[in-house]
């Protein structure tokens, strides 16, 4: 196992749960210009490359970047990336604009810092920023004509919502910071520039070490490979950070054997869908394991039991709105049926919402409650799938034909792969639930289970009911429930 060491900063504020960052960028600007990848290993597990051997020659900006790393002692087998070369919230706090960014969310402060440094072109960040691409193939950069190819997909919704988010953050920063401190900013910072900084951070930042946010020059050039099936490629260790210094180091381990001169690659995330990969990095994998769809359900504010249901959902780490990521050829998420049964509880089953049942209700909801309740659950899922399928511009068969014929442009290939994957998952979900719907009369529901627990069911499913208090104390045989 080959190991490459980089230093790691002290903990800094982490991202909120709804933000999921990829560790590294997929396609570096170097990949298509190098005879050998920039980040590779020798038999001594050190960084190794001779830019002069590249054919065609490296661009001037890359040569300068490599020279800078060499002068800083990064390109060696013993010295890690020094803390002064990282870009993280601590970097921004210590910068000229740090005190003005104190109230910003950490990642927004990094956006502002990146675009400011790009515009200023000053040392030391110029060498690093100069090799960053001006654009990527992320759907955030797609034209309206290109976006039309992903009509109906969650990818389109994700793209539009994130654009709105970035725009709102930009206007907030412009009003509260840029316009009030024009002396700190050499020229006008535009929305396009702010979007560029957002994409650079979202596609390159490492965030899974101690929940911290950091951009590491050189490290963020490591590419993704579908052949890597493990994500445990990074850890923190204590080690030498210089001749007479000791620090926390970033240790990157290849999870598969790497020969001398081969490129070091990693896995960006086994749980990421093709929509995620297209959104953040601008690529997809021709792998059905990446096909997914997120079903969204909510507890209506008009529900007469809204407060009770909301409390039960919250106690089980769910909210008024719940999102369920469903992947191709995988079981439904364990929480989806209990949540939907909770949403579908009506008057006849509302007794389960009473305080006396609260401690055990989620376990109760893991199994069918009643025929009416289970029927509503099936209807909700089927309706959601059919509604989503009606929003696409093509059918699964049409997309499969396009893929078979080939000759798709790069972005159209991304669009077709994502949309056909979503539709396949929706059809799979619909098929599972329709099969369940056909078996509703054969399911065992709450009252039947409860009677069995009390020993009130005979060998042939006869239910023994207790007589009324004023009747003769004899055993009464009732028909099955």
Catalytic (active-site) positions:
268
Task: Yes or no: say if 87 and 125 are a contact pair by the CB < 8 Å rule.
Answer: yes
Q: How far apart are CA 335 and CA 366, in angstroms?
A: 8
Q: How far apart are CA 180 and CA 100, in angstroms?
A: 10
Residue 451, CA distances (Å) to 188, 420, 457, 480 in order:
73, 47, 6, 11
Cα end-to-end span (Å), the chain: 63
Pick from 79, 74, 76, 50: which is nearest to 63 by CA?
Answer: 50
- The residues near 73 (Cβ < 8 Å, ≥ 6 apart) are 79, 82, 242
Encoded tokens for 288? 């059905």
Encoded tokens for 12? 């800094």
Q: How far apart are CA 371 and CA 394, in angstroms?
A: 36
- The residues near 87 (Cβ < 8 Å, ≥ 6 apart) are 110, 113, 114, 125, 214, 215
């Amino acid at each position: 196992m080959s190991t490459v060491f980089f230093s790691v900063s002290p903990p800094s504020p982490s991202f909120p749960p709804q933000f999921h960052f990829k560790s590294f960028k997929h396609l570096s600007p170097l990949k298509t210009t190098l005879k050998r990848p920039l980040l590779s290993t020798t038999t001594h597990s050190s960084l190794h490359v001779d830019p002069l051997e590249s054919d065609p020659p490296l661009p001037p900006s890359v040569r300068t970047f490599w020279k800078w790393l060499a002068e800083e002692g990064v390109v060696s087998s013993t010295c890690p990336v020094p803390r002064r070369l990282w870009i993280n919230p601590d970097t921004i706090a210590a910068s000229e604009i740090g005190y003005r960014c104190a109230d910003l969310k950490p990642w927004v402060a990094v956006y502002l810092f990146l675009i400011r440094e790009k515009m200023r072109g000053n040392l030391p960040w110029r060498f690093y920023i100069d090799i960053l691409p001006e654009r990527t193939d992320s759907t955030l950069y797609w034209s309206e004509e290109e976006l039309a190819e992903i009509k109906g997909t969650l990818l389109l919704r994700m793209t539009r919502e994130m654009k709105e988010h970035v725009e709102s953050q930009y206007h907030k920063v412009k009003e509260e910071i840029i316009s009030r401190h024009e002396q700190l900013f050499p020229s006008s910072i535009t929305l396009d520039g702010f979007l560029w900084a957002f994409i650079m951070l979202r596609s390159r930042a490492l965030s899974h070490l101690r929940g911290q946010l950091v951009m590491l020059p050189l490290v963020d050039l490591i590419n993704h490979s579908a052949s890597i099936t493990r994500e445990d490629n990074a850890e923190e260790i204590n080690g030498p950070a210089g001749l007479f210094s000791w620090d926390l180091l970033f240790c990157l381990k290849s999870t598969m054997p790497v020969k001398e001169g081969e490129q070091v690659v990693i896995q960006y995330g086994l749980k990421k869908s093709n929509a995620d990969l297209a959104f953040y990095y601008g690529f997809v994998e021709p792998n059905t394991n990446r096909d997914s769809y997120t079903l969204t359900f909510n507890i209506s504010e008009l529900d007469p039991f809204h407060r009770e249901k909301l409390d039960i959902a919250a106690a089980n780490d769910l909210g008024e709105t719940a999102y369920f990521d469903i992947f191709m050829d995988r079981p439904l998420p364990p929480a989806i049926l209990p949540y939907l049964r909770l949403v579908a509880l009506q008057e006849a089953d509302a007794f389960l919402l009473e305080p006396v049942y609260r401690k055990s209700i989620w376990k109760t909801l893991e199994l069918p409650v009643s025929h009416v309740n289970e029927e509503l659950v099936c209807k909700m899922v089927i309706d959601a799938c059919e509604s989503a399928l009606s929003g696409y511009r093509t059918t699964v068969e049409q997309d499969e034909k396009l893929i078979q014929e080939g000759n798709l442009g790069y972005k159209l290939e991304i669009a077709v792969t994502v949309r056909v994957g979503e539709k396949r998952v929706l059809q799979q979900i619909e098929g599972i639930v329709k099969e369940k719907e056909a078996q509703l009369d054969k399911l065992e529901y709450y009252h039947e289970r409860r009677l069995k627990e009390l020993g009130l069911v005979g060998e042939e499913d006869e239910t023994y009911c207790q007589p009324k208090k004023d009747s003769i104390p004899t055993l009464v045989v009732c028909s099955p429930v």
